Structure 1
């Protein structure tokens, strides 16, 4: 299973889109700031607010690119459809 996901910071002002085959591990890596100069480490982007799944890596990568190329407004619409309260969904994994 592959996950396309969006993370944000505590104030929901920064959005990060990624793809992984292990969402639990990947979120932990973001939270541990393993790469100190990475985007997620610099902006404390650790809260999972959106995810989708697919069994096809090519579909996952294309969807990630589609989301990344979209406007902030489009990303917010995606998040609001799945998670209108912007709760941290990482607790589900």
Structure 2
């Protein structure tokens, strides 16, 4: 199984959020549809701007904790190293429009 450490943004160089998950597209979809109460819903943080995969959950959690302690500029540099245009990577990697009704048979991509 793969685990993902990810950064979300409200807009380019806006509010940032760092998380970890084993189902990246599903988790970002939850953020985009405000199914996750709290920080990301309150501040509109739902654009996937950076992520990396890990094979070991402990390694992923440790990386997330390190990034959360980083200075803001270091996080901006990390994002801009691979995503200088601050593109929402959710769409590039097969994300589904959260305003569309997803047929039951197509929900397996979210698992």
In which range does the TM-score fall when normalised by the shorter chain?
over 0.9
| Distance in 2, Cα, partners of 1:81 & 1:11 | 14
TM (normalized to structure 2)?
Answer: 0.79
| Distance in 2, Cα, partners of 1:28 & 1:35 | 10
**TM alignment of 1:1-93, pairs within 5 A:** 1-36=2-37, 38-91=38-91, 92-93=93-94
SS of match in other structure, 1:53: strand
- Of residues 27-36 and 51-60 in structure 1, the stretch that sits farther from structure 2 once superposed is 27-36
Q: What is the number of equivalent residue pairs in this alignment?
A: 92
> Unaligned stretches of 5+ in structure 1?
none
Taking only aligned residues, the RMSD between alpha carbons, in angstroms, comes to: 1.1
CA contact (8 A) 2:13 2:76 kept: no
Q: CA deviation at 1:43?
A: 0.5
Tell me: CA distance 1:29–1:9, structure 2 relative to 1, closer, same or farther (3 Å).
same
> Unaligned stretches of 5+ in structure 2?
95-111
TM (normalized to structure 1)?
Answer: 0.94
| Distance in 1, Cα, partners of 2:11 & 2:76 | 15
Please tell me whether Structure 1 or Structure 2 has the larger radius of gyration of its CA atoms.
2
